[in-house]
Structure formats: C-alpha cells, structure tokens
Amino acid sequence: MGPFFKIFLFFIFTLAACGQAQAKLYVVTTTTDLRALVSEIGQEFVTVDSIAKGTQDPHYIEAKPSFMTKVNRADLLISIGLDLEIGWLPNIIQGARNPKVLKGQKGYLEVGPLVEPLEVPTGKISRAQGDVHPDGNPHVTLDPIRVGQIALFIAERLGQLDLEHQEIFIKNAKIMQTRLQDKVKIWQATIDQSGVKKIVTYHKTLSYFLNRFNLENSAILEPKPGIPPTSGHIIEIIQQIKEQKIPLILVENYFDPTVTEKIKNRVPTVRSATVMVAVDGGPNVSTLDALFEHLVDTINGR
C-alpha cells in the first residue's frame, strides 16, 4: 500500500468519525425568513443559521465556501426551492459533503412547492422572458397565511429529526399559524383604510403579500424579471401610473431606488418607499410579524 493510500484511508476514517451526534438540532436555512420560522418553532432545542442576509437579493447569493462548512455540520437544510436558490445552493450542497442534507433525505426540506405557488407560467417559456421561474414565484414567505402553513411543515420535519420535542415543535407552529391568521384580519383592515388598491413594485417580490391583501401589482419597474429598468419602460410606467391613478411605488431594499425619482418628477402625486422584504432586511425587523407590520405600515403611509 503506497503512502498516498495510507494518508487517504487515514482521512476517510478520521473524518467519518467526526460525524458524531450533536446535542441540539443544527439547522441551516437559505433565507432569514426561514431562519425566523425555525427559531420560533424550535426555540431552545434548535440552533439555526441563514445563508442569505435580509439585505441581499436571494436570487444572487455567492456560494461562499464558509457556507459549505455550515451545511457540512447541519442536521437539516431548509430552502425555498422553486429555483430561487438555483444559482448557488447546488454548489453549496455539493461542497458541503454532508449526505444528511441531500435531496430526498430527511435532512433536506424545500418549502416553496408545498404551499401552492403563484404565477406558475403556462405554455412554452424561454429566457427571452427574463429570469422566469418555471415552477412559480418563489417569494412565498411574504404571505402570512402561507408562512403559517410552512411553519407546520417545518415543525413536522423537526419532529421527525427530534422525536423527543416533536409535540413542542407542532404546538409552537400552530400558535404561530393562529397568531398570523388573526393578524391578517387586522392588517387587512389597516390596508383597506389606507385606500391604496394598486401598487408598482421593482420586481415580483411582493406578489404573495399583495395577493393576500387584495392589492393589485399594476406594474413592475423591471421590464422583464431580472432585467433592470429601461428608459422606454419607465415612460410606459409613468403613463400607467397617470392613467390608473396608482398611488404607491415600493422598491425592495436590495434594488437601486433612484429610478423612482424620475417617475416622481413626472408624477408628483405618486408616493415611493424603499421596503424591507426579508427578516433582518433593516433595523427593527427581526421577526416575520415585524416584517409584515413594516409592509402594512409603509402602505399605510406611516
């Protein structure tokens, strides 16, 4: 046996021995919204980290090797799916070398496909349509009702991995779901009072939120998903805002908001705001409830 093979075998068996059980479940999530969910459901029985930060566009995260180190130690990896993380998560999973979190294993959970995605394209799609998601819009965690459903899926999976605390996880998820269902009624009333019915956004990030609260996403500043606004498209948007009397433009906080200045110069009555669209997207938004309240308050002009 040559020296290379001896070294090789030494590392294989040494590292295999490193996979010892941890006291608490260690969960890695792709987004901060999912991290907030796991944190509330798992409480002191779970340690959780997110790969993306709340200030980052989750479509374009870089597959930093340090994320692979985290996923290597994870008992559970939770992602949105629906191709949100397609540009970076496969590399992280491949580099993590952790068989527990491979697709199909108990340690891998994709929540987006479980909660009836919106905007699933029909007919033939191509990249000429921009950055389309063939299985639907992936920003599912901006709907409080779907968040409640996701909480139950996460609790169920946590319970499978930690039978001892299964009931606590399910109980916490149900409490969260009920709380959000109750708050949706209050938030709906607040939005209704604002008089806002139509909103322009930069990207289709807020589709689920707007759909839940019966708001119309009348126009998108991106001419196509993932394509930055062009002058010609902005002129069309200005025309739409004037004709449809759209009162509000919301720009997700990882996009450049300066484009709205041009619109406001031409339509002084339109209001624009930069909004956080993920937990920890800014100060005082460290929970999903706070995130939804921030969005409701912004629409309401507070």
Partner 1 sequence: MNTFVKVFMIIIFGIPVAWSQNPQTRGKVFNPDISANFLGLFQRGTALSEDRTQVPHNGLSLQEAELQFTSDVDAYFKGTALLGIAQESGSTEYGIDPEEVYFETLNLPHVTLRAGQFKLALGKHNTLHPHAYPFIDAPLIHQQLTGDEGLVESALSAAILLPTSWYSELILQVITLSNEDLFQSPSSGQTGTLAHFKNLWDLTDDLTLEIGLSGVTGKNQFAKTSTLLAGDLTFKWRPAEGGKYHAFIWSSEFLDGKRKGLTDEVTGDSAEHLGGMATWIQYQFAARWWVQTRYEKMGLPHPASIPSQEKQSALLAFYPSEFSGFRFQYDHLKTQGSADDDHTFSLQFNISVGAHPAHVY
Nearest CB to partner 1, comparing residues 127 and 185? 127
The contact set with partner 1 (CB under 8 A) reads 1, 4-5, 7-9, 11-12, 15-16, 18-19, 53, 55-57, 60, 62-66, 68-69, 72, 83, 86-88, 90-91, 94-99, 102, 104-106, 127, 131, 226-228, 254-256
Nearest CB to partner 1, comparing residues 268 and 283? 283
Nearest CB to partner 1, comparing residues 13 and 243? 13
Nearest CB to partner 1, comparing residues 224 and 271? 224
- For residue 181, the minimal CB distance to partner 1 (Å) is 31
Q: Measuring CA to CA, which residue among 146, 107, 99, 91 is closest to residue 29?
A: 107
Instruction: Judge contact between 186 and 144, C-beta under 8 A.
Output: no
Residues 6+ apart with CB under 8 A from 48: 26, 27, 28, 29, 35, 38, 39, 42
94-107 exposure pattern, b = at least 16 Cβ within 10 A, e = fewer:
ebbebebbeeeeeb
Q: The sheet that has 198-201: what strands, in order across it?
A: 216-220, 198-201, 248-252, 271-275
Handedness of CA 81, 82, 85, 91 (dihedral sign): positive
* Cα distance between residue 74 and residue 101, in whole Å: 7
- For residue 97, the minimal CB distance to partner 1 (Å) is 5
Nearest CB to partner 1, comparing residues 71 and 140? 71
Nearest CB to partner 1, comparing residues 52 and 288? 52
Instruction: Judge contact between 226 and 248, C-beta under 8 A.
Output: no
- For residue 253, the minimal CB distance to partner 1 (Å) is 8
